[in-house]
Amino acid sequence: MELEQARKRVEELVPLLKYYTQMYFDDKQVVSDYEYDMLMKELKGIEKEYPELIREDSPTQRVGASIKKGFEKVTHEIPLQSLQDVFSFEEVREFDTRMQKAAKENGAELKYVVETKIDGLSAALEYKNGIFVRGATRGNGTVGEDVTENLKTVKSIPKKLKEPIDIVVRGEVFIGKEEFEKLNADRLVDEEEVFANARNAAAGSLRQLDSRITAKRPLDIYIFNVQKCDSIDFKSHYESLLYLEKIGFNVNPVKILCNNIDEAISAIEKIGQDREKISFGIDGAVVKVDDLALREKIGTTYKTPKWAVAYKYPPEKKETKLKDIVCQVGRTGAITPMAILEPVVVAGSKISKTTLHNEDFIKERDIRIGDTVVIQKAGDVIPEVVEVKKKKRTGEEVPFEMPTTCPICGAQTIREEGEVAWYCNGVECPAKLQRGIEHFVSREAMDITGLGEAIVEELIKRGLISNIADIYKLTFEDIASLKKNGKKFAQNLIDAIEESKHRDLYRLVNALGIRHVGVKLAKSLCKNYDTMDKLMKASYESLCMKEEVGKIIAKSIYNFFREEQTIDLIKRLKEYGVNMVAEKEEGADDRFAGMTFVLTGTLEKYSRDEASEIIEKFGGKTSGTVSKKTTYVLAGESAGSKLVKAQELGIRIITEQEFDEMSR
Indicate which residues carry an active-site annotation: 117
The span from the first CA to the last CA of the chain, in angstroms, equals 47
> Which of 59, 109, 527 lies closest to 294, judged by CA?
109
CB 573 within 8 A of CB 503: no
> Which of 255, 219, 222 lies closest to 239, judged by CA?
255
CA atoms of 149 and 447, how far apart (whole Å):
38
CA atoms of 123 and 148, how far apart (whole Å):
10
CA atoms of 23 and 223, how far apart (whole Å):
25
3-state helix, strand, coil in the chain (%, to 5): 40, 20, 40
CB 306 within 8 A of CB 288: no
Residue 11 CB-density burial (10 A; 0-12 exposed, 13-18 middle, 19+ buried) = middle
CA atoms of 353 and 383, how far apart (whole Å):
8
Degrees, nearest 5: CA angle 382-192-175: 50
CB 414 within 8 A of CB 558: no
Provide the b/e sequence for 349-383 (b: ≥16 CB within 10 Å): bebebbebebbeebeebebbbebbbebbbbbbbbb
Residues 6+ apart with CB under 8 A from 92: 86, 261, 264, 265, 268, 287, 309, 311
CB 120 within 8 A of CB 199: yes
CA atoms of 532 and 570, how far apart (whole Å):
9
> Which of 590, 595, 610, 587 lies closest to 656, judged by CA?
610
DSSP-assigned states of every residue in 114-168: EEEEESSEEEEEEEETTEEEEEEE-TTSSEEEB-HHHHTT-TTS-SB-SS---EE
Residues 6+ apart with CB under 8 A from 296: none
CA atoms of 516 and 519, how far apart (whole Å):
10
For residue 330, CA distances in Å to 22, 333, 422, 434, 469 come to: 21, 5, 11, 11, 21
CA atoms of 170 and 114, how far apart (whole Å):
17
CB 592 within 8 A of CB 615: yes
Give the strand pairing for 621-623 and 596-600: parallel
> Which of 502, 333, 522, 507 lies closest to 431, judged by CA?
333
> Which of 238, 269, 264, 267 lies closest to 251, judged by CA?
238
Residue 107, by phi and psi: left (phi above 0), alpha (psi -120 to 50) or beta?
left
Report the sign of the C-alpha dihedral through residues 313, 314, 318, 321, in that order: positive
